[in-house]
Amino acid sequence: MNETFVRLLCPDCGKSWERKPKELPAHTDQFACDGCTAQRRTAEFARTDRDLDVLKQFQ
């Protein structure tokens, strides 16, 4: 069985990384970048629409 990951991209510093959807807050909640600590809604860190769909599916 494959594990599902959400690809994230910080709109402020450009850092990219992956996390399991269950490790992330809901797409409407605040989330902080691992690199620059910028805070935005989790949905704004989703790299693609597909990543956002995966995040929403597992919330």
Q: How far is CA 18 from CA 4, 15, in A?
A: 10, 10
pLDDT band at 57 (very low <50, low <70, confident <90, very high): very high
Measure the CA angle with vertex 11, ends 10 and 13; round to 5°: 65
Domains of the chain, residue spans: 6-57
| pLDDT of the residue at 1 | 55
The pLDDT tens digits for 9-49 are 999 999 999 999 999 999 999 999 989 999 999 999 999 99
pLDDT band at 59 (very low <50, low <70, confident <90, very high): confident
Residue 18: strand pairing partners: 7
